[in-house]
Amino acid sequence: MSGVFVVGTDTGVGKSLVAAALLHRLGERHARVVGMKPVAAGASRDDAGAWSNEDVLTLQAASTADAPAALRNPYLLNAAVSPHIAALRDGVVIDMAHTVSCAAALQSQADVVVVEGAGGFRVPLGHTLDGADLAVALRLPLVLVVGLKLGCLNHALLTIESIAARGLRLAGWVANRIDPQMPEQQANIELLERRIAAPCLGDIPHRLPPDARVAASRLHLPPGFPA
């Protein structure tokens, strides 16, 4: 079984779009792929009246293997704020062992699991835990989504340092052009290609609304990815 953990330089950089795009591309190679969002902050009622989260639904739509919602999204928090605040409001403690157990259960039901983090790489999940701790616990190769906007170079390079400091493997990164007005986008990508010792897996153009299948067409995955 294999999997990959999609993390971001910040919130709103397109992690869900890239995770869904990865599911579409990996679905071309594997019969059973499934997306997981361990912690989702921001719940609303779906058409059936059940509580759901937009990112979770995006991953579900791109998956080819069915799995219980409790495994795909162990923690659905009501408020669309930092997960540690949303969890405190809901009276929930995010348990790392439970999250890892859910990921392992998904891996037993699928060929590949694509896990999407919450917010940026070090987003707080509790009083002491953050997204980096979740990455260490899951021990999956990482894909970093860099949202192209002013400040992204600093955010990307700091995130790369944080990933390396924890001994985690970066399988690749994706440039997502979230701000069409940002100047010198190509120059920013070229600098990151020089500075990041992992392949650029794709360059996703700005598109409204975002389309995971279109984004998937812009991804170039090495043979055997993500192993």
> Domain extents for the chain?
2-146+165-216
Predicted pLDDT at 1: 53
Fold classification of 2-146+165-216 (topology level): Rossmann fold (3.40.50)
pLDDT tens figures, 17-76: 999 999 999 999 999 999 999 999 999 987 888 888 999 999 999 999 999 999 999 999
According to the model, what pLDDT value does residue 51 have? 87
* pLDDT tens track, the chain, 227 positions: 589 999 999 999 999 999 999 999 999 999 999 999 999 999 998 788 888 899 999 999 999 999 999 999 999 999 999 999 999 999 999 999 999 999 999 999 999 999 999 999 999 999 999 999 999 999 999 999 999 999 999 999 999 999 999 999 999 999 999 999 999 999 999 999 999 999 999 999 999 999 999 999 999 999 989 87
Where in the sequence numbering do the catalytic residues fall?
37
The alpha carbon dihedral of 29, 35, 38, 40 has a sign of positive
